[in-house]
Chains A and B, each alone.
Chain A
Amino acid sequence: MSPDSQQDFALAFLSILFEGAPFILLGTLISGFIDVYLPAGTMDRFLPKNRYRAVMMAGLLGAVFPVCECAVVPVIRRLVKKGLPVSCAITYMLAAPIVNPITALSTWKAFQGQGAEMMTCSRMLLGYLIAVAVGFVVLRLPLRAVLKEQLVLSIEKDQANKASHAHEAHDHDHAGCSGHDDHAHEHSHAHEHGHAPENGQRMVAAFRSAMKDFVDVGVYFSIGVCITALFNTGIAPGAEWLDSLATNPTAAPAALMALAFVLSLCSTSDAFIAATLDKFSWGAKLAFLTFGPMMDVKLLFLYQSVLNKRFIVCLAISLFITIGTISIFWQNLIFQAK
């Protein structure tokens, strides 16, 4: 790498890292405290019993727990371990970065004078529908087809522990057992627990868990940002090529989705970039704003801390085709007059 390239890479790398790391920290702190303090099955209790309704509800959880795509990965990783159905977790993971008030506000602000309301509503709706559709598909898949092997083994081990624990004598107090996996029985929690940790110990455990999650996600984020920075600083040779595709109704959404994939922008701020792409149609921008928070270079690496590689590839291809197709249709149906 020449000194100039080193300088450019460093500037882009650090700026993206500074922008994204706080959001990952937020996500991992939440996940660490979920790990230790949130009883397994709590999320289940918020969701409807019907699996399809549960997936539909999970797509809206981002409105209550607003997180960007960097922060959502460690959170859902922990929630899956805590027993949240994978279909709901994937739906939440894909929808939350888009269907949340912060992203809605930034999209609305960025598109002022360019049909802000229409773009904001379209983005929210398309993001929600795509995430729910993926959730419905995941409902029908076995766990191993979706999650990475290590996570599946961890869940299976926890389930085995839960099963064995369910058969033990219950002369212990569950008051200090908030992070415990669900017992498969109903009983009074008024007895002494042999290994109930003190509150201070649980705090240490929560921070330890958050640190471990931060490192797990931070490694992939670091790799993703490296690649993004390399593309970002050398992306201009493709700029002319991109411009040449702007007027092509089919190629334009594909080109902007490819750009979103490479740029790996945060969903809370990507609308400000999309709004600058004035040569492109609204449909193409919608594709950019929907595909980017669901799949980009950085997420490709982050997802590997939760999902298996084959599923990630299938998800990427499916999202690309589905979002591209809907955006073209959307463009023709709604934005044609623009």
Chain B
Amino acid sequence: MKPHLQRIFQSLAIIVWGGVMLYFYGSGRLNNYLTPDFRPIALAGGLGLLVLGLFNILTAHQEVGCGHDHGGEGEDAHDHESGDMHPLTAFALMIVPIALSVAWTKDKYSPAALARKGLYETPKNLITPFLASSMPQLTLEEIEKTHRKTPDGFLQFNLMELFFATGDRELQSLIDGLKVETEGRWVDEKVRNPNGTRKRLYRLFMTCCAADSQVIPIILDFGNAPPEFPENGWVKVSGTMRFPMEEGEIHPMLVVEQAIAAEPPFEESFMRK
């Protein structure tokens, strides 16, 4: 392949990578993929790739010396540019996976993947010292100071606090019986649900990127048939928080009084601080 064509293919591959990164950043979709500290890095990377690709595509036809003597004639396409594999193969290997991924992604995991990431695990198996250390120490005074009350008298908690109360006896005793409101994604309860009166609410906890995210779930108990909401849709629920012992383990359970569809929050996942 002629050197300038090779440069054009390489530039295009780089522009596509940079363009995809910038598109995800600009559209806000990157929030579903990376924690906040990695997002500016991705933006800088996308811009850098775009500049690199554009610069090279605009100078693709320019013949330049590189400051070396390459010791012979006819070596214009010398070691500075000859790649490890055929330029078209390299182009395909760089473009096909990212193109397919952009086409396939829904910016969220499927129910099967969520199950693999702990959707139906008990808190005992999910709470780790690292996750626990991400939670601030709460007291009743702190709760009242830092949690707003809705007009209906429900204290607004985030799902992670309710989940972690399961492993913290002190916090559990503070929250048990409280009227709380929280939000998360709505999915079917597939375990310990003999009467079909339960659903599950979850959010993801991301350490660095979506690949390492972990599900933070609580059980919703309606006492009778639950209302209908789209699977994985955002729902705001309010009710009384309980921590019942079932099958020998404590579970976080919200006995629901109200449930309404909600807009997704700005940060859909919890992030490492």
Contacts and interface: CB of A to CB of B under 8 A. Distances in A.
Contacts, number: 251
A16 interface: yes
Given A25-B52, A209-B80, A10 B105 contact: yes
Given A205-B64, A219-B94, A276-B130, A9 B30 contact: no
Interface string A169-210: 000000011111100000000000001110001101101111
Contacts of A239: 116
A296 interface: no
B24 A18 contact: yes
A239 B113 CA distance: 13
B44 to A, nearest CB: 6
Interface in A225-245: 225-226, 228-229, 232-237, 239
Count chain A CB atoms within 10 A of each CB in B56, B90, B210 and give the residue with the most. B210
Contacts of B117: 236
Given A11-B33, A204-B64, A215 B80 contact: no
Contacts of B20: 14
A272 B79 contact: no
B129 A278 contact: yes
Interface in B10-48: 10-11, 13-14, 17, 20-21, 24, 30, 32-34, 38, 41-42, 44-46, 48
A181 B65 CA distance: 15
Interface in A264-300: 265-266, 269, 272-273, 275-278
A16 B213 CA distance: 12
Nearest to A264: B211
Contact of B272 (A232, A233, A272): A272
B117 to A, nearest CB: 7
Contacts of A278: 128-130
Contacts of B46: 22
Contacts of A222: 93-94, 97-98
For the residues of A in contact with B, the DSSP-based class is: helix
Contact of B116 (A6, A36, A223, A235): A235
A204 B133 contact: no
Nearest to A16: B211
A117 to B, nearest CB: 16
B98 to A, nearest CB: 7
A277 to B, nearest CB: 8
Given A21-B45, A25-B52, A218-B94, A35 B211 contact: no
B1 interface: no
B212 interface: yes
Contacts of A216: 83-84, 90
Nearest to A163: B71
Given A4-B113, A18-B33, A150-B84, A112 B66 contact: no
Contacts of B102: 10, 14
B112 A4 contact: yes
A38 to B, nearest CB: 11
A229 B56 contact: no
B33 to A, nearest CB: 4
B171 interface: no
A11 B64 contact: no
Contacts of A210: 52
23 contacts: A8-B110, A12-B211, A16-B211, A21-B17, A21-B49, A23-B41, A25-B52, A36-B67, A160-B71, A165-B69, A178-B67, A179-B66, A195-B69, A201-B65, A204-B55, A204-B59, A216-B84, A218-B17, A218-B94, A263-B211, A269-B207, A272-B208, A276-B214
Interface of B: 7, 10-11, 13-14, 17, 20-21, 24, 30, 32-34, 38, 41-42, 44-46, 48-49, 52-53, 55-56, 59, 62, 64-72, 79-81, 83-85, 90, 93-94, 97-98, 100-113, 115-117, 128-131, 133, 207-212, 214, 272
In the A-B complex, the 6 residue pairs with the smallest Cβ-Cβ separation, listed nearest first, are A22-B45, A236-B116, A161-B71, A4-B110, A10-B105, A15-B210
